[in-house]
Amino acid sequence: MTTREAGEALGVAVRTVQLWVEAGVLPAWRTAGGHRRIARSAVDKLMAERQNDLVPLGTATTTPTHPALRLLLVEDDPVLLRLFHGVVASWDFPVELFTATNGFEGLVRIGEMRPDIVVSDLVMPGMDGFEMLRALKKPGSGFGNLKLLVISALSSEDIEARGGLPEGVTCFHKPVNYVKLETLVHKYFSDRLQRLAGA
């Protein structure tokens, strides 16, 4: 299948398919002419895996003038997932919270739901947060303006030793100051409302 055919089957943009291919989410090869080709079986497998998976943990009430902020949490610790869900549920502005458990799944989610903000751990099995962030910040990815936040137990020195974070990524060290996190996310929500109002 071509990237366009795969995008139509998966319901995502061609650029998203290209990002998934480059990040290894969708296996592909190149023809002699340099065009990407994707096995239909790989597309079918991804569709089957994601069919019942994209369900928000909690969906806030929304109105046409206050559309919910779409937030994706990429975290493999089930305890932290539950904690974050409780924290977000206490915020006084509408948020749709979705989750992924590693960078690979995070990239799939991002392509499917086009979140406003991604909050990610760094150390995870399979594709870690570093790889996911670099894929998203790669020139031409189509996700260069996506708001990215990191929550990590790694020290600043450890993060730098692993290649550092891409420019524009905000880092919160564990234990997380959830008040500061809420303030930052709320500011983005307010700015988003202003942009929508001016559109």
pLDDT value for 141: 82
Rounded CA-CA distance 41/107 in Å is 19
DSSP letter at 187?
Answer: H
Tokens found for residue 101: 């458990």
pLDDT of residue 51: 60
Angle between helices 14-23 and 103-113 (to 10 degrees): 180
Residue 133 region by backbone torsions, left for phi larger than 0, else alpha for psi between -120 and 50, else beta: alpha
pLDDT of residue 76: 93
Query: What does the pLDDT read at residue 59?
Result: 43
- The pLDDT tens digits for 162-171 are 999 999 999 9
Q: What pLDDT is stored for residue 50 in this prediction?
A: 61
- For residue 54, the model assigns a pLDDT of 47
For the chain, which ranges sit under pLDDT 50? 52, 54-64
**pTM for the structure as a whole:** 0.74
